[in-house]
Amino acid sequence: MTDFKKNIISLKNAIDNAVSKEIDLSKKVEKDKILYDFKEKQKEYYIKAFENALKFVKSNVLELNQLVKYDNKNLEGVNKILELIPELESKDLHELDKTLKKIILITDHLNFPKGDLKKKFIAPDFLPIDIKEEIKADINELNKCFNAGCFRSTVILCGRLLETALHRKYFETTGKDILEKNPGIGLGNLIAKLNEKNVKFDPGLTQQIHLINQIRVFSVHKKKEAFYPSKDQTYAMVLYTLDVLGKMFKKKSY
């Protein structure tokens, strides 16, 4: 059973429990009553259970695209589910129950592969020969981390991929190995050095590097607040990293 299917069932259970306890999702929990009012505490519990289950369903929507790749006959059903997902924002439990029953019915008719769906990221084209094998090895490791749910490790590997590519791009541009004189140069400074050489990058790359550095800093300074990327955030970061790598060495992309 895939994560999407599991989380749909969990959401159905959360809605059933909330209905049985006559919980009103449109009314906020009165925080000042929680300590002494059992009903208010119970209400908070069922609302949180519903919200968490809904969050997990949304986080696994990307998996549906993989189902289409697995079997194109899933396309119609997947599109119907995607059209229904926004209706899960309703605060009416009975409307939510109707919507979820429709999604479950459609899901039951989808063709799922045996075992869980696994993402498979591949190395982009146009990579220089001298870094191609290293990039491929890191992407193989990245696939293992992502599919095992080790999202912080996946993001760190995105940083390693960018470092390898940016160091090679600097050498390609200047004919000099920047690691010889500045072995500890960070990704941000490396991009600044390349900008000085008129090598331009997507502005979003700076934000990508900021998120990667948040995780790296925490691994060194334990008192820093940890950054835990979600599955969707990590997936987007991997796709962005691979896109940057693909464009970096394509003929005069920048």
The overall average pLDDT reported for the chain is 82
Q: Where are the alpha helices (DSSP H) in the chain?
A: 3-20, 38-59, 62-70, 75-84, 93-108, 129-147, 151-174, 178-181, 187-196, 204-220, 231-248
Distance from C-alpha of 61 to C-alpha of 163, rounded to nearest angstrom: 31
Q: What is the pLDDT of residue 133?
A: 92
Name the residue ranges covered by the structural domains of the chain: 3-108, 129-248
CB proximity list for 63: less than 8 A, separation 6 or greater: 2, 3, 4, 117
pTM of the model: 0.53
124 vs 66, 113, 150, 202, 238, CA distance in Å? 19, 26, 22, 17, 12
Distance from C-alpha of 72 to C-alpha of 169, rounded to nearest angstrom: 39
Distance from C-alpha of 144 to C-alpha of 72, rounded to nearest angstrom: 26
Q: Which residue, chain included where needed, has tokens 């459609």?
A: 106
CB proximity list for 130: less than 8 A, separation 6 or greater: 168
User: What is the per-residue pLDDT across 78-135, written as a single tens digit (0 to 9) for each?
Assistant: 999 999 999 999 999 999 999 999 999 999 998 877 765 577 888 888 788 989 999 9
Asked whether the beta carbons of 204 and 211 are under 8 A apart, the reply is no
Asked whether the beta carbons of 178 and 170 are under 8 A apart, the reply is yes
User: What is the per-residue pLDDT across 144-199, written as a single tens digit (0 to 9) for each?
Assistant: 998 888 888 898 899 889 888 888 888 888 888 876 777 667 777 878 888 888 88
pLDDT category at 138 given cuts 50, 70, 90 is very high
Mean pLDDT of all residues in 52-73: 81
30 vs 27, 34, 220, CA distance in Å? 9, 7, 40
pLDDT category at 40 given cuts 50, 70, 90 is confident
Asked whether the beta carbons of 161 and 138 are under 8 A apart, the reply is yes
Asked whether the beta carbons of 201 and 191 are under 8 A apart, the reply is yes
pLDDT category at 33 given cuts 50, 70, 90 is confident
3-state secondary structure at position 226:
coil
